[in-house]
A and B are shown apart, each in its own frame.
Chain A
């Protein structure tokens, strides 16, 4: 996974990209397993500190990390 454009530092970007790519693949295959006609459109991971949103595509992946308004 090669980061094309990022607002974070390189190492963090690489880490996020690598990990989330794998997770997205897994989520996508899960959705497909349950219903082959279905497909993953969006993945949201909410953690204590922030929310990670992933929009997957055939070739590219858009990742946004947002701080929830608490």
Chain B
């Protein structure tokens, strides 16, 4: 039912002057109350409502405009001298001082103030009131505060065309600076005029980056040299490796030649522990891992191809997306690939075939993050597709622990450098998850929505309190975690190691059982195809499935037949007993 009022005007009267007139109120429509509708409602008696006699207030938040700050110093000059005295002239100042000292007022004041002061000084000398009295009692404060994290600062990409913040690196000394690599990872969809610059930000000044680094092609990764904080290594989108010295400026100090560089964007670069502090290695999706010495970037010192069939063929190689290197295990390194396999390699192997030690597969998609636990290097964390998994080097068949499948892709992850059981992950929906294995293993201890766009990378500062995460629109957010997540809990190391060991043992037991079952199956099918081992494996599986199906249907049909037969026989008896018997016998 619509209430409609139609205004009618003749076409010839358009544009005529309006003559308004008053008229009586006209009733357009009268809708009487319909008592039948009341039947749909039930009267509530008594009604509970809270009222309060107080001033009603409303809360409103407003964000102020970001103000630009500038640091400058002021030079103070001594002042306050009377007009006739020149402060620079020693004679005049001495004369003035002597004059004041002779003043009666001065003398009496000094005596009085002196006595007060003496009293306090004597107090200080007698007792140190701020002494630590109960030093031997340890703070057994079990801070049960809820884990929390708050945003401290946000660094936005000053460019107009926003690029994704793809990699972050903290300054090695003091952690007051953050280097962020910006690039557009969508293949060939980088908009025209997108700047190639990446920035170094000073944490105190979020308005302007401290230094801009200008590479020939956008940087996908950027790392500070842990030995020399002025040197940075960057991996470019076009496969080149570039090196900067911040003392020399924003232009590239060294650049690798394009013929010998990678053929795909360089996704991982890490500095190596070497005496000279100039060695590094890089990995890219073209399937190669190259070692470089930054003094001579024209050619890599070594190249390893990520071919798991150990033949060294580039065509079969798996694209590397993440790289891992722990300075305590200098000959081993791990590569996370686009195909979801982690390859563990030994650098010191003699032949290229031996370089690849073993593989771990378990992810369905590219492994975006790979990191060993800083306290227990045998266990490492991988982040890819929708889960994060923890692996143990001993258990090669599967990961020892994994998170459930999330709603959004996980893009990056890292262990906390201070707590062995805590790790962080970022997701495509802009949330940062903090997992605490000691506290809860099925859900993150804290899940924060950092921003509306996807988070791409994450880096934890060495103290474990600050986390920086970079998003798709180039916004880097700096978060501070609560102290409960960044201080080592009592007994945590033992608990964490026992968790890992227990899970590893469980996986080993499962692995052993699987192997036993497979051996049994192989033993049964022994007479047939001996040579083609792989096909045999597949056949076995199909056979097993077919057998299982057959058996299942047999059982079902035999039961049905039996039930029918019984029903026919025991028709006069009640239906209940026969079905009960049937159920009882099959144990359904």
Contacts and interface: CB of A to CB of B under 8 A. Distances in A.
A5 B107 CA distance: 12
Contact of A42 (B106, B120, B125): B120
Given A59-B105, A59-B109, A70-B128, A53 B81 contact: no
A66 B124 contact: yes
A57 B101 CA distance: 16
A66 B29 CA distance: 91
B131 interface: yes
Given A5-B101, A70-B128, A62 B110 contact: yes
B187 interface: no
A6 B81 CA distance: 16
Contacts of A59: 105-106, 109
A51 interface: yes
Contacts of B105: 59
Interface residues of B, number: 24
B113 A60 contact: yes
Nearest to A44: B120
A1 B117 CA distance: 20
B115 to A, nearest CB: 9
B547 interface: no
B113 A4 contact: no
A67 B585 CA distance: 92
A46 B131 CA distance: 12
Interface in A19-70: 41-42, 44, 46, 51, 53, 55, 57-60, 62, 64, 66, 68-70
B76 interface: yes
Nearest to A54: B117
Interface of B: 76, 78, 80-81, 96-97, 100-101, 105-106, 109-110, 112-114, 116-117, 120-121, 124-125, 128, 130-131
26 contacts: A2-B81, A4-B100, A4-B101, A5-B97, A14-B76, A42-B116, A44-B120, A46-B130, A53-B117, A53-B121, A55-B113, A55-B116, A57-B109, A57-B112, A57-B113, A59-B106, A60-B109, A62-B110, A62-B114, A62-B117, A64-B117, A68-B130, A69-B124, A69-B128, A70-B128, A70-B131
A-B pairs, 7 with minimum CB distance: A55-B113, A62-B113, A57-B109, A55-B117, A60-B109, A55-B116, A14-B78
